[in-house]
């Protein structure tokens, strides 16, 4: 860790609740949900972390407390340093985290994706709605209980249903994590298969041109 990324001591003086987080690469800290916006603002304004590179979530599985953690990856375009900020959602039944859209405009789509995939809300977001799945889709595909092959779900759009020839699909389509043994497949020519192809078993494959 370079001196340029060592912001934890300074943050801890201002925010005693900030604690180091185990990390194999960049500096990382744990922050309570109630202080997350203040800490993020301080990192941006006082330490030069002006770029929100990513915002995602972790689902530790049902029965775990806390179940969900929001993770922010910040970068300084001046020093080229990174810092990872993690904040646990205090309520697993109705997980939420204050929106960071007021600090970085880039948080908009990141938070919408986390809302869509994990069901975590971001109070203060200007337009929190699904970004990948359609409105009214009843599931959150990146939650641990969601089956890998997807869930058969009625298509909301008649035109799409007519084009696919089906009224229901396994949504999202079967996928990941992808697997391919060494020498089994040339990844520059084709995608590897998913571990779970159960939804496709017994279904006719599309004709090849």
Domain regions of the chain by residue span: 3-118, 151-200
The number of beta carbons lying within 10 Å of the beta carbon of residue 39 is: 20
Q: Give pTM, 2 decimals.
A: 0.77
24-28, 137-141, 169-173: least confidently modelled range: 169-173
pLDDT bracket for residue 22 (50, 70, 90): very high
- For the domain spanning 3-118, the CATH number is 3.30.460.80
Residues 6+ apart with CB under 8 A from 141: 117, 133, 150, 171, 172
194 bridge partner residues: 178
Mean pLDDT of 85-108: 96
pLDDT reading at 203 higher than 60: no
> 209 vs 28, which has greater pLDDT?
28
pLDDT of residue 136: 85
The span from the CA of 90 to the CA of 117, in Å, is 18
pLDDT at position 88 is 98
80 backbone dihedrals φ, ψ, rounded to 5°:
65, 25
Question: Is the CB of residue 133 less than 8 Å from the CB of residue 171?
Answer: yes
The residues facing 153 across adjacent strands are 169
Q: Please give the mean pLDDT across all residues of the chain.
A: 83
């Amino acid at each position: 860790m370079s001196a340029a990324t060592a912001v934890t001591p300074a943050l801890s003086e201002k925010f005693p609740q900030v604690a180091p987080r185990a990390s194999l690469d960049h500096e990382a800290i744990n922050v309570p949900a109630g202080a997350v916006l203040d800490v993020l603002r301080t990192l941006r304004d006082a330490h030069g972390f002006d770029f929100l590179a990513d915002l995602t979530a972790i689902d530790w599985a049902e029965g775990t407390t806390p179940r969900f953690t929001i993770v922010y990856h910040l970068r300084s375009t001046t020093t080229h340093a990174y810092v990872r900020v993690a904040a646990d959602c205090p309520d697993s039944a109705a997980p939420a985290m204050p929106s960071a859209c007021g600090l970085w405009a880039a948080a908009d789509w990141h938070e919408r994706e986390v809302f869509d995939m994990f069901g975590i809300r971001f109070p203060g977001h200007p337009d929190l709605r699904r970004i990948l799945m359609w409105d009214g889709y009843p599931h959150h595909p990146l939650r641990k209980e969601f089956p890998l092959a997807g869930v058969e779900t009625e298509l909301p759009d008649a035109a799409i249903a007519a084009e696919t020839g089906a009224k229901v699909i396994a949504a999202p389509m079967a996928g990941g994590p992808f697997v391919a043994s060494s020498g089994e497949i040339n990844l520059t020519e084709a995608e590897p298969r998913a571990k779970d192809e159960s939804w496709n078993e017994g279904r006719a494959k599309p004709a090849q041109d």
